[in-house]
């Protein structure tokens, strides 16, 4: 069994279906009763690395956002990064670039949204928007001009894989943006250079750690860069099959306490 080659000082966790069972709206008790206290006891920092914005964290996670749990957050795919309430780094889309994307999406008849630290604002509400966005937050707002009023870190666009080439051909992404799919009907739109990996590297630099001191757990395709960047990457047993080749270790399903199993098997705790 492959194991970490350097002492682990920080562990990054994706949220949905890594740390949090979204369809059951719960976090496994092994996280609260075993993982967090045992990491803390060894001086290892537990951190969140997610595509969600800070205010869009699940209610089940919020009681764990304190000195005894999580104080370090890589959010919105590594573009809004916080430690103990202080900004470590942030990346945002310019108003001009958003306007260009909006004009092209509107010509295609594709609904879009803006993501800030505190809010998701959609251009219109419809069944697809509700079905994809409400599991993240039911408190999203409808405001197609939100980007003129508040900082937009990234955009969302609501279209299926069948329209992906059409979006590219229309020039929505240009040479500087990328689309990362997180739902069969929705993608994140962000700057090409941005990812969870970039946010993680900023955090590593902030603490003066080596990347070999970092471990990460993930389950989705937006975790690829993160797993390739950290010293040791763990993929959940319930992960998308395409992600598993990027793992240093494939653990059990989230419902089988996969995080605890991996940390014990790898002798991290």
- 181 part of a folded domain: yes
* Average pLDDT taken over every residue of the chain: 95
- 172 part of a folded domain: yes
Write out the residue range of the structural domain in which residue 239 sits.
Answer: 10-90+194-266
Which pLDDT score is estimated for 41? 97
If asked whether residues 148 and 187 sit together in one domain, one would say yes
**What does the pLDDT look like over 44-76, one tens digit per residue?**
999 999 989 998 899 999 999 999 999 999 999
Distance CA 105, CA 204 (A): 36
Distance CA 122, CA 32 (A): 34
- Look at the block and give the residue holding tokens 């229309």: 170
If asked whether residues 153 and 184 sit together in one domain, one would say yes
If asked whether residues 124 and 158 sit together in one domain, one would say yes
If asked whether residues 86 and 203 sit together in one domain, one would say yes
Which pLDDT score is estimated for 84? 95
Q: Supply the CATH number for residue 148's domain.
A: 3.30.1240.10
Strand order in the sheet with 154-158: 141-142, 120-122, 111-115, 154-158, 186-191, 177-183
- 4 part of a folded domain: no
If asked whether residues 83 and 198 sit together in one domain, one would say yes
**pTM score of the predicted model:** 0.86
- 2 part of a folded domain: no
User: Of 171, 191, 211, which residue is a domain's last?
Assistant: 191
- pLDDT of 135 higher than 90: no
Distance CA 33, CA 17 (A): 18
Q: Supply the CATH number for residue 37's domain.
A: 3.40.50.1000
- 137 part of a folded domain: yes
Q: Cβ neighbours of residue 222 under 8 Å, at least 6 residues apart?
A: 51, 77, 180, 182, 188, 195, 196
pLDDT band at 221 (very low <50, low <70, confident <90, very high): confident
If asked whether residues 214 and 244 sit together in one domain, one would say yes
Which pLDDT score is estimated for 136? 86
Question: Alpha helix (H) ranges present in 42-189?
Answer: 95-108, 127-133, 164-169
Angstrom distances, CA of residue 46 to CA of 36, 57, 107: 7, 16, 44
User: Known catalytic residues?
Assistant: 14
Q: What share of the chain is helix, strand, coil (3-state, %, to 5)?
A: 35, 25, 40
Q: Cβ neighbours of residue 233 under 8 Å, at least 6 residues apart?
A: 215, 216, 218, 226, 227, 246, 247, 248, 249
**What does the pLDDT look like over 87-121, one tens digit per residue?**
999 999 999 999 999 999 999 999 999 999 999 99
Angstrom distances, CA of residue 255 to CA of 26, 89, 120, 126, 183: 10, 33, 29, 32, 21
The three-state secondary structure class of 221 is: helix
User: Of 191, 219, 244, which residue is a domain's last?
Assistant: 191
If asked whether residues 184 and 242 sit together in one domain, one would say no
Residue 35 falls in which region: left (phi positive, over 0), alpha (psi -120 to 50) or beta: alpha
Mean pLDDT value across residues 247-251: 96
- 53 part of a folded domain: yes
If asked whether residues 128 and 177 sit together in one domain, one would say yes
User: Of 191, 214, 247, which residue is a domain's last?
Assistant: 191
If asked whether residues 73 and 111 sit together in one domain, one would say no
Q: Cβ neighbours of residue 66 under 8 Å, at least 6 residues apart?
A: none
If asked whether residues 161 and 208 sit together in one domain, one would say no
pLDDT band at 222 (very low <50, low <70, confident <90, very high): confident
Which pLDDT score is estimated for 18? 96
- 3 part of a folded domain: no
If asked whether residues 86 and 99 sit together in one domain, one would say no
Residue 33: exposure state from Cβ atoms within 10 A (0-12, 13-18, ≥19): exposed
**What does the pLDDT look like over 169-219, one tens digit per residue?**
999 999 999 998 889 999 999 999 998 999 999 999 999 999 999 999 999
If asked whether residues 66 and 145 sit together in one domain, one would say no
What's the total number of domains in the chain? 2
- Look at the block and give the residue holding tokens 């603490």: 207
């Amino acid at each position: 069994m492959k194991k970490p080659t350097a002492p682990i000082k920080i562990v990054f966790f994706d949220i949905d279906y890594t740390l949090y069972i979204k369809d059951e709206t719960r976090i496994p008790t092994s996280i609260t009763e075993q993982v967090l206290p045992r990491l803390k006891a060894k001086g290892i920092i537990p951190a969140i690395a997610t595509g969600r914005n800070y205010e869009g964290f699940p209610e089940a996670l919020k009681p764990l956002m304190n000195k005894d749990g999580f104080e370090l957050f890589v959010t919105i795919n590594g573009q809004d990064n916080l430690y103990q309430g202080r900004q470590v780094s942030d990346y945002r889309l310019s108003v001009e670039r958003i306007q260009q994307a909006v004009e092209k999406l509107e010509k295609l008849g594709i609904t879009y949204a803006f993501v800030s630290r505190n809010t998701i604002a959609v251009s219109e509400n419809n069944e697809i928007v509700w079905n994809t966005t409400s599991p993240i937050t039911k408190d999203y707002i409808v405001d197609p001009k939100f980007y003129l009023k508040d900082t937009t870190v990234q955009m969302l666009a609501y279209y299926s894989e069948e329209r992906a080439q059409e979006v590219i051909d229309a020039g929505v992404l240009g040479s500087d943006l990328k689309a990362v799919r997180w739902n069969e009907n929705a993608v994140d739109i962000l700057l090409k250079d941005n990812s969870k990996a970039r946010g993680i590297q900023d955090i590593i630099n902030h603490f003066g750690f080596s990347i070999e001191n970092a471990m990460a757990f993930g389950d989705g395709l937006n975790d690829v860069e993160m797993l390739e960047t950290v010293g040791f990457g763990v993929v959940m047993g319930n992960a998308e099959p395409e992600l598993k080749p990027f793992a240093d270790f494939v653990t059990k399903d989230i419902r089988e306490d996969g995080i605890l199993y991996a940390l014990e098997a790898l002798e991290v705790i």
